Structure 1
Amino acid sequence: MRVAIFDFDGTLYAEETFKLLMTHLKEHPIYKTNYSRFYRSIVPPYIANKLKLYPTSKMKARSMQLYLEAFSGISTAEMDAYFEELKDKMQKDFNQDVIERLEKHQSDDVHILLVSGAYTQFLQRVTAGLTFNQIIGTDIPYKEDKIDIHSPISHVNGTRKTENILKILKDQQIDWENSFAYGDSYSDLPVLELVGNPVAVKPEEKLRNVAKERGWEII
């Protein structure tokens, strides 16, 4: 079985998810009252990260954990509705070149995975209309169908992406040499190195340099 692994931010989606989520919360008619508290809480880890005192991976995970505190006690259906509000806006910024690749892989019966650090529930809502065999993201913890802000999230980032991919596919015979992966960031390198056909999508400079050195495709 061949696979095609797609990153989300900067790859399928041309922008940054978390910036959009922050704006959505800030302007939301129901939940905007929680924005100020959320913003104050993320300032310390953000500043520490800029001063290189706090790793970027931990800062991102902490920010996502704090974001959920604005929705304490919200049900699955209510969060679905909140994320659904972003779908049309986000899909306008989907990279059409990447969409064409995805559709080509589907027609070739390639097993397609979307792998991202974004919330899994969010990814399911905003990619409605696209077909993935599996979506790997950061799960939102619920307890009795209410968001449980006291349970820590397991942020899917860096090497954890690769670990989750291998775990999900462990019972399959994968033709890695003839498989594909798409990413835009140097942090996607472990995933790109899994396959024989890595593709750098509008890559940041560090990944672009690696792609050029190794002769990888760049789109």
Structure 2
Amino acid sequence: MTAQRTRVTLFDLDHTLLPIDSDHSWGEFTQQIGWTDPVDFKRRNDTFYAHYIAGTLDVHDYVRFAVEAVRLRGHQAYVQAHERFMREWITPALRPQALELVRQHQRAGDAVAIVTATNELVTRPIAAAFGVAELIAVELERDAAGWITGEIAGVPSMRGGKVVRVEQWLRRRGLDWDGVETTFYSDSMNDLPLLERVDHPVATNPDPKLRSLAQERGWRILDLFERA
């Protein structure tokens, strides 16, 4: 008798579980609270976001840019600012249908993780708000004092890097692809490598290119909410 494989359910975050992009929103929030120049930062932030949508983003350049303001202000300022960001930007964006989707998989006994190209400082409290302890995000290098340097640590969880990071995550649990039955929910063509790697890809609130591809391949399409 073949042993039943462990069910693993993976969720992208931005535009998949959230109707907004948390990384881009954090940038707008830092402008709002006066941490960044409202004109120059917005121009550069919007440019980086356009590159992400187009699949041409240099993630290392972007992360240096995105975390510079918080790096300069330190950990305590980050904690206070992110608590406000959660109250004002993220909590209003938590949709009951997205929360329930996560709960359904948890109640079914699946191992659940969020896999996102957004950095850990922005996303760890958001994952907690969804009740998900396992977060695979862009990890940040730390200095001797334990604070971020602005560089990425390890493989960034973006495009093909998501496959690598999920493999590492599985390995730490004594698992591999053959020993698990995997589902991945994502909105973006940027996540095509992981969508193609899992057993059950689900195009969730998909962008037009992913929707078209999902229709061609017969993948499940799930519209939880309209894309913001």
TM over 0.5: yes
Deviation at 1:90, TM superposition (A): 1.2
Larger deviation, residues 195-204 vs 32-41: 32-41
Could you say which residue in structure 2 is the equivalent of 1:42?
Answer: 44
What value does the CA root-mean-square deviation take over the aligned residues? 3.0
Unaligned runs of at least 5 residues, structure 2: 1-5, 223-228
CA distance in 1, matches of 2:51, 2:35: 26
> Structure 2 matches for 1:26-41, cutoff 5 A?
26-28=31-33, 32-35=34-37, 39=41
Could you say which residue in structure 2 is the equivalent of 1:19?
Answer: 24
Could you say which residue in structure 1 is the equivalent of 2:206?
Answer: 203
Count of residue pairs the alignment pairs up: 211
Deviations 1:101-156 (Å, cap 9, x if unpaired)? 2101101110011010111122111233323242011123332033323x455542
Q: 3-state DSSP class of the match of 1:131?
A: coil
Q: 2:141 touches 2:148 (CA, 8 Å); kept in 1?
A: yes
Could you say which residue in structure 2 is the equivalent of 1:169?
Answer: 170
Q: 2:8 touches 2:111 (CA, 8 Å); kept in 1?
A: yes
Larger deviation, residues 198-207 vs 120-129: 120-129
Larger deviation, residues 81-90 vs 207-216: 81-90
Deviation at 1:49, TM superposition (A): 5.2
Q: What is the identity, as a one-letter code, of the residue corresponding to 1:23?
A: E
CA distance in 2, matches of 1:169, 1:111: 10
Deviations 1:63-109 (Å, cap 9, x if unpaired)? 22112222334433432332222223313223433322210110111
**C-alpha spacing 1:166/1:46, structure 2 compared with 1 (3 Å):** closer
Q: 3-state DSSP class of the match of 1:193?
A: helix
Deviation at 1:216, TM superposition (A): 1.3
Q: What is the identity, as a one-letter code, of the residue corresponding to 2:13?
A: F
CA distance in 1, matches of 2:46, 2:220: 39
TM-score normalised according to structure 2 size: 0.79
Unaligned runs of at least 5 residues, structure 1: none
CA distance in 2, matches of 1:11, 1:198: 13
Pick aligned residue for 2:216 from 208, 213, 218: 213
Q: 3-state DSSP class of the match of 1:2?
A: strand
Larger deviation, residues 2-11 vs 65-74: 65-74
> Structure 2 matches for 1:1-219, cutoff 5 A?
1-28=6-33, 32-35=34-37, 39=41, 42=44, 46=48, 56-58=56-58, 60-88=59-87, 89-143=89-143, 144-149=145-150, 151-152=151-152, 155-170=156-171, 171-173=174-176, 178-219=181-222
**Whose strand proportion is higher, 1 or 2?**
2
Could you say which residue in structure 1 is the equivalent of 2:3?
Answer: none
Q: What is the identity, as a one-letter code, of the residue corresponding to 2:22?
A: T
CA distance in 1, matches of 2:50, 2:30: 23
